[in-house]
C-alpha cells in the first residue's frame, strides 16, 4: 500500500545517537532523525530566525543549511507527513493540515518530496493543536521504543 505523503520541507539536525540513550538500544539504530527536538536538536537560534514554514521546515535545502551558520555536525533531511491518521475508533481518516499546522506562517512547499532522497524510516509524532509551533514527542526516540 502506498501512503499519501505531503512534503513538509527541509530541516537540519544532529542525528547521532546520544550517549546513554535507551540503554538497550539495538545495534541497528545508528541515527535518530525524528522531527521532534526531544532527543536530537536543530541548531541553536533556529526559531528566532522566523524564516520557516508552518511545519517548522524550510522551502529549500539552502535555507535549511543556513540555520547552522557554518557549524558542523548537522545533517540535511527532507520531511514528509503521511496524510492518514487513526481516529479514536482505530479507523483511518485523512489528516486536516489546518488542524495540525499553525496559521500565519508561510505555506508548505508545493509538490512531492524531491527526487534523490532515500526513505530512512517512519515515525509517529504527537501534535496537540495547530496553535503549537512545532511537533512534539516521538515514541520511537523520545520514549525509547526503538529499543
Residues 42-53: tens digit of each pLDDT: 999 998 999 999
- The CA distances from residue 88 to 27, 92, 93, in Å, are 34, 10, 10
Q: Are 127 and 136 in contact (CB under 8 A)?
A: yes
pTM for the model stands at: 0.86
C-alpha cell at 116: 534523490
- Number of other residues whose CB lies within 10 A of the CB of residue 80: 20
DSSP string, 86-134: E-TTS-EEE--HHHHSPTTSPPPPSSSPPTTPPP----------TTSSS
Tell me the pLDDT tens digit for each residue of 38-83.
888 899 999 899 999 999 999 999 999 999 998 999 999 999 999 8
Per residue in 85-129, pLDDT (tens digit) is 888 999 999 988 888 888 889 999 998 888 888 888 888 887 776
pLDDT greater than 60 at residue 1: no
Cα angle for residues 132, 139, 23 (degrees, 5° grid): 130
pLDDT at residue 8 is higher than 80: yes
Please calculate the CA angle 51-56-53 and round it to the nearest 5 degrees. Answer: 55
Q: Which grid cell is 66?
A: 543556513
pLDDT band at 130 (very low <50, low <70, confident <90, very high): low
d(CA 147, CA 134) in angstroms, rounded, equals 25
Q: What average pLDDT does this structure show over 8-18? A: 91
pLDDT higher for 116 or 3?
116
Q: Residue ranges of the domains in the chain?
A: 1-147
**Closest residue by Cα to residue 57 from 129, 113, 128:** 113
Averaged over 29-35, what is the pLDDT?
82
How would residue 131 be classed by pLDDT, with cut points 50, 70 and 90?
Answer: low
Amino acid at each position: 500500500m502506498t501512503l499519501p505523503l505531503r512534503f513538509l520541507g527541509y530541516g537540519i539536525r544532529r542525528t547521532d545517537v546520544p550517549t546513554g540513550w535507551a540503554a538497550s538500544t539495538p545495534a541497528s539504530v545508528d541515527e535518530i532523525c525524528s522531527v521532534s527536538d526531544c532527543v536530537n536538536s536543530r541548531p541553536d537560534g533556529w526559531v528566532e530566525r522566523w524564516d520557516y514554514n508552518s511545519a517548522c521546515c524550510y522551502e529549500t535545502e539552502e535555507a535549511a543549511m543556513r540555520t547552522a551558520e557554518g557549524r558542523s555536525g548537522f545533517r540535511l533531511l527532507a520531511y514528509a507527513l503521511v496524510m492518514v491518521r487513526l481516529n479514536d475508533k482505530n479507523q483511518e481518516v485523512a489528516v486536516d493540515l489546518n488542524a495540525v499546522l499553525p496559521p500565519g506562517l508561510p505555506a508548505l512547499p508545493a509538490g512531492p518530496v524531491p527526487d534523490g532522497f532515500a526513505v530512512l524510516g517512519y515515525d509517529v509524532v504527537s501534535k496537540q493543536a495547530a496553535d503549537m509551533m512545532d511537533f512534539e514527542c516521538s515514541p520511537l526516540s523520545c520514549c525509547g521504543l526503538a529499543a
